[in-house]
Amino acid sequence: MKKIDISTSAFLYENFEELSKDIQNLMQQAVEAREKAYAPYSKFYVGAALLLENGEIITGNNQESAAYPSGMCAERVAIWKAGSEFPGVKVQKLAISASSKTHVVSSPIGPCGACRQTLSEYEINQKEPIEIYFMGAVGKVVKTASLLDLLPFSFDSSNL
Ligand code: THU
């Protein structure tokens, strides 16, 4: 038996203003999408904005259900919207912002495990990394250069 060390890296921006103008614009789209989320149960509002290689920005937000497990995260709403409207068009960047009706979300909120798995399907298929930026409502922003930086030991079609 031997130990394997897996390393990954992320970049930390002190705040929204430290982002480039292009990324601020993408993050702003995520914030606007977040405001339109349907989250009456958790009161946790998430918005996602994807920049496609054709210049389109596709947004999504979380959609909850009284039957709780039937709800859906913002990131998957956005990526499936992109995949259904623009099949085969590469995704370059993803911005995510989260807020709550009950407290100020000041730590960066990354995509959940199921969203990471879903996003990895698209990144692997397109053979180009998706840059991910995520934040709360205020405060620091985390960037990873690739979705796979968030998902070591990922499962993909080559494992089937
Ligand atoms: N949520 C997202 O939209 N994205 C995530 O990556 C984490 C969680 C949503 C799902 C649910 O509507 C609410 O946040 C609380 O979990």
Nearest to 76 by CA among 92, 57, 94, 88: 94
Beta bridge partners of 133: 95, 143
Task: Name the pairing type of β-strands 11-13 and 141-144.
Answer: antiparallel
Out of 64, 75, 123, 131, the active site residue is 75
Model pLDDT, residue 11: 98
Is the minimum distance from the CB of 73 to ligand 1 under 6 angstroms?
A: yes
Span from the CA of 24 to the centroid of ligand 1 (angstroms): 22
Model pLDDT, residue 68: 98
Rounded Cα distance between 75 and 106, Å, is: 19
Concerning whether 35 is annotated as a catalytic residue, the answer is no
Model pLDDT, residue 29: 98
Model pLDDT, residue 40: 98
- Phi/psi at 52 (5° precision): -95, 160
Spatial strand order of the sheet with 44-52 comes to 11-13, 141-144, 131-135, 91-100, 44-52, 57-61
Q: Is the dihedral of CA 105, 44, 145, 89 positive or negative?
A: negative
Is the minimum distance from the CB of 44 to ligand 1 under 6 angstroms?
A: yes
Task: Name the pairing type of β-strands 11-13 and 57-61.
Answer: unpaired
Model pLDDT, residue 160: 97
Q: Enumerate residue ranges in the chain where pLDDT < 70.
A: none
Cα-Cα-Cα-Cα torsion 100, 105, 111, 113, nearest 10 degrees, comes to -80
Atom of ligand 1 at shortest distance to CA of 63?
Answer: 12
Model pLDDT, residue 123: 98
